[in-house]
Structure 1
Amino acid sequence: MSDTVPEAMAGDGTAEAGPDHDPAAPAPLNVPRTPTGNAEVDARLERLGDADHLATDGHVEVYEDVHRGLRDTLTALDARPGPSAPSPSYGQHRS
């Protein structure tokens, strides 16, 4: 009987991955992103995938960029000209 541990086994008895595997390396979360139908919003949501290839400390920059872009898109919706609101006197009866 031998007291040596085979190379393919880690100290806890689990099999080790190949030499290129780094468990501390960024790994994609593979979170599905369903298209909204709005091209601007969909582009911002796809940008979230950029965080999959970054270390955790790099996620904040991506999240802030996406948040800023979504906020700008919503703000632009408020700024678009649309039908004017009825005047305050609309529907009031004159005596």
Structure 2
Amino acid sequence: MTDTADAVPEPDRAEPPAPQPLGIPVTPTGDAAVDARLARLADVDHLAVSGHLRVYEDVHRGLRDVLAGLDQRPGPPAHEPHRPQGSHRSHEDHEMH
């Protein structure tokens, strides 16, 4: 005969709670490529902590690529170097002086 008063209760085997969104707003930067990468951070709101690293690494890699791309874009035209007075003036400049 089993005495129910002496029975050891079963430990709760409840599943861990579902991931909850952190609700951290992301302010747009104005750069579409950067904003797309930052928007990807919202994916972690729906993942277990074990999945966060993959998203963070992906975002980091994407932001690094965007920065590297800045080095490859041609910049604004170089400013014309300062010319000493009296050198290489146009015909119109001579008429004004």
TM-score using structure 1 length:
0.62
Same amino acid, percent of matched pairs: 68
Structure having the higher helix fraction is 2
Match 1:37 to one of 13, 25, 30: 30
Q: Which has the larger radius of gyration?
A: 2
Count of residues in Structure 1 that have an aligned counterpart in Structure 2: 65
Aligned-partner Cα distance in 2 for 1:84–1:57: 48
Q: Cα RMSD between the aligned structures?
A: 1.8
Stretches of 4+ moved more than 4 A in 1? 83-86
2:44 to 35, 48, 51: 51
CA distance, structure 2, for counterparts of residue 32 and residue 50 of structure 1:
13
Aligned residue among 20, 29, 32 for 1:27 = 20
Instruction: Provide the C-alpha distance between the structure 1 equivalents of 2:78 and 2:25, rounded to a whole number of angstroms.
Output: 39
Partner of 1:75, secondary structure, is helix
Gaps of 5+ in 2: 1-14, 80-97
Q: Unpaired segments of 5 or more residues in structure 1? A: 1-21, 87-95
